[in-house]
Structure 1
Amino acid sequence: MKKIKLGTSDLQAGEISLGCMRMADLSKQDARHVIENAMELGVNLFDHADIYGGGKSEEVFADAIDMNPSIREKMLIQTKCGIRNGFFDFSKEHILQSADNSLERLKTDYIDIFLLHRPDTLMDPEEVAEAFTRLKENGKVRYFGVSNQNPMQIELLKKYLKEDLIVNQLQFSLMHTPLVDAGLNVNMQHDPSIVRDSSLLEYSRLNDMTIQAWSPFQYGMIKGPFVGNEQFPEVNAKLQEMAEKKGVTDSAIAIAWILRHPAKFQPVVGSMNPGRLADIAKASHVELTREEWYDLYRSAGNTLP
């Protein structure tokens, strides 16, 4: 698998990462197989969050690999905090406690990347900065990032932070494209021209932040997968056509479409099926032409001005 540099850091990661939200449901043996298979494919970044399985996903992950220094150094572990039961919490106390809890569940001394999960409008950026500084100075976190945040929220944080924010996790798929729609419909008077994300794509590229694309097979707000979904015959026909042409699966084409963008997105794939992940990983070596990229974009129901 090809590798990418994450943000302004020195971290090199496979251009596809594994989201571990569903790992809580696996046995130790099955989880070990998923992780070992992923690493054999070149996937070395594993994405967690304190809310995944109520923390159990992190526990199962650590138990599955019998966490030890020799295997720990071969992987990048990322986790997130800030979503609580019915509210968001970026308080200094919660950030520090969440990091400690994740470290304990993951049975590791450090987290490679620690993200703020969803925007907390009650955030005090100076509190966040204090928490991040303590985690960094204590060697508990190497790098920091955010998830689902817009440019001004990021700029507010950066005013006080000592460290760069190297990633932003954002929903992006062939059937969820606000990141690119408005940029293709500049100064037009129709719905696709509405700027919904404050030009996050361009902001991220200008500031060397890696966008991690979550739910790369979902449509809407996690309404379900679009690949193989009979509700979307046109896009699936085009995916299948491209898959047959390239000798891969339709899911691999959906990921290759994301990887084709020069912003160097890193899709976060949540499959716990080793065979399916192996098929998806082939996307790393699929070359889509500009014409093929736009064919797929239009097949998803988009029109160009």
Structure 2
Amino acid sequence: MMKTYRIPRSELEISRIGYGCMHLSRAWDEAPLTAGERSRTHAMIDTALAQGINLFDHADIYARGKSERLFGEVLRQRPNLRGQMVLQSKCGIRLAGDPDPGAPQRYDFSHAHIVASVEASLQRLGTDYLDILLLHRPDPLGQPEEVAQAFDALHGAGKVRHFGVSNHTGAQIALLQRHVRQPLIINQVELSLLHHVLIDEGLMANQAGAPYLASGTLDYCRQHDILVQAWSPLASGRLAAPLESMDETLRTTAELALQLAQTHGVEMEAILLAWLLRHPAGIQPIVGTTHPERLIASCAGDTIEVSREQWYALFAAARGHRVP
């Protein structure tokens, strides 16, 4: 059975790997749900649960709500599954044309939008509560006091049990936490072997010409007991492309990952996740494949541990040069 994390400052015990539901529907339009989408959703939920995954990650905007609707259909047909799951959704992004045709894509941390988004997600998901709500991306115009009012309303009504953020820096989390009463227990960020900026910045902060902001996001999360979730932990499959189509750095990284996969008797996906899981921050990768066999292959990353030397070898390959 998959190993678990206890999220600090909560009662939640979650699988070390989570399942991302963004692509349950890939049609970001108003077309009706299809039989193929419904079948795929059942298959992915069953596969995830069979692998020991219990955290399912959503957002109100995924496929314009269709991914949550598909998931909700499963829960309505099989309500016994809800108790086996930690359901997480996100809000705060408003797509272009919402609600007026000329409106730009933007972020919205207003009280009204946060509450309305959660109400809509609960309806689509067919559940009375979210275990976790994340604010999807920082809103430059957001007022922390207004966010606090929305969190209080949702928490007090029993509609959201825990709160967190996504794509936030440590300073942004600190500002928000100063105002909200509930602990912010998660920060979901893009993080993978190929998108390693948050790890690399700790090495490069004092290097000449380094383009990093040294915001210390990972260190902040560790210091304040905030679980780090990694979205796109497999780098959108870029290392699975044909080797001849890759540049030198990418090809070297892929060849090393494949070699380590053969050494450990797993697929490359497992090595990429094991690399993240080896980090002492206690990172939870959120895997979003819609192929059951790929999810099974990824979950093998929970069963192996890359050595310190293997970890640094992969890191250096992905950076294109050794650590300083």
TM-score calculated relative to the size of structure 1: 0.94
Alignment of 1:133-212 (within 5 A): 133-191=152-210, 194-196=211-213, 198-212=215-229
Which 4+ runs in 1 deviate beyond 6 A?
Answer: none
1:48 aligns with 2:58: yes
Q: Which amino acid aligns with 1:12?
A: E
Give the Cα separation in 2 of the matches to 1:289 and 1:243: 13
1:114 aligns with 2:133: yes
Deviations 1:21-52 (A, max 9, x none): 00024522221111011001011100000000
**Which stretch shifts more, 277-286 or 68-77?**
68-77
Measure how far apart 1:6 and its partner are. 1.9
**Which stretch shifts more, 19-28 or 206-215?**
19-28
RMSD: 1.3
Task: Give the total of aligned pairs.
Answer: 298
Give 3-state SS (helix, strand or coil) of 1:73's partner. helix
1:252 aligns with 2:262: no
Give the Cα separation in 1 of the matches to 2:41 and 2:131: 21
Give the Cα separation in 2 of the matches to 1:77 and 1:225: 25
Give the Cα separation in 2 of the matches to 1:257 and 1:195: 22
Q: Which amino acid aligns with 1:93?
A: A
Does the 8 A contact of 1:178 with 1:197 survive in 2? no
Match of 1:279 in 2: 297
Match of 1:221 in 2: none
Does the 8 A contact of 1:82 with 1:89 survive in 2? yes
Does the 8 A contact of 1:227 with 1:251 survive in 2? no
Give the Cα separation in 2 of the matches to 1:182 and 1:147: 19
Give the Cα separation in 1 of the matches to 2:69 and 2:24: 9
Does the 8 A contact of 1:150 with 1:197 survive in 2? no
- Which of 81, 84, 98 is equivalent to 1:74? 84
Give the Cα separation in 2 of the matches to 1:93 and 1:135: 11
Measure how far apart 1:289 and its partner are. 0.7
1:228 aligns with 2:244: no
Gaps of 5+ in 1: 219-223
Measure how far apart 1:16 and its partner are. 0.4
Alignment of 1:208-219 (within 5 A): 208-218=225-235
Deviations 1:165-210 (A, max 9, x none): 000010100011111112123522143xx43351001000000001
The alignment-based identity, stated in percent, is 43
Match of 1:303 in 2: 322
Q: Which amino acid aligns with 1:202?
A: D
Alignment of 1:15-94 (within 5 A): 15-25=16-26, 26-66=36-76, 69-85=79-95, 86-94=105-113
Match of 1:292 in 2: 310
Gaps of 5+ in 2: 27-35, 96-104
